Structure 1
């Protein structure tokens, strides 16, 4: 009888542990997703290659989940995730998957430190940029998406839109100026506080 009691207690304890692990993983996932763009921007600032940044982020997410038990829930997950991403960038660079442009490790460390120190300001700018992008007409949103996705060359985009490359660059320049002005006016009141 006592043996049955202890077996039930162990089963209950195991169920409780599983439920706690599941809840912790959900909290972690929610917090990480809230910083997804910020983390992508961070990695992209270190490798300057959209596809490489995507690969590095996938590896970073896997490593973070493997080490979930080490996560301190009382702290923001973003700096912890940046540390993992930083090491994944170093691994990427050391694996020989290098682009023609290679920065020194000290430069990567400097960029990483600067990014982490400015992450709150960058988050505000990204939110303002999203807001400004939403205000553009769908055609301009599509043009920017096509250009910055890296999936098509400028020549391919110009051909698809039946425009010259020169006129496409002029449009992109105007859109960038417009977005810059919009972002600056959106964050100015927040910076004054």
Structure 2
């Protein structure tokens, strides 16, 4: 079984990537950080006949969770975020949506903790939750050993959690987010 990662650029107030992380054999998986344009994600999953079992958030800012509520309802898939995320998800000032025109909140997210393992389709424990506070105190990354073994890239943010970040690489979602939001001196 192979984990496959498919980025999709959604344009809202900001253009941010959401990532489908799919079990290539079953067509089941998760969606990471759907920031806007829920119809775009719905169409992509429908066109490929993917079944989304969960929506994962790297942190609680609106540009990473703005479409999660509508997608949760459409797919009957739980939203999962770090255990510290509620303060952002429930407060438009903290999630920054209040400053950008439309206050957004998202209630009912299931809690994730550092070290939790998340299945992707039929692959038990395919993603490991890494709590990587920095951009926000609820920031997390989703590391996939299978995806990392195909990658020659090294994370640019090893200094954030050197005790937890494997040398082999990150899933696309973690890589894009941490490279965009972190600056680590070499």
- Shorter-chain TM-score bucket reads under 0.3
Return the structure number with greater helix share. 1
Q: Rg: which structure is higher?
A: 1
Higher relative contact order (CA 8 A, sep 6+): 1
TM-score, normalised via structure 2 length: 0.24
TM-score, normalised via structure 1 length: 0.23
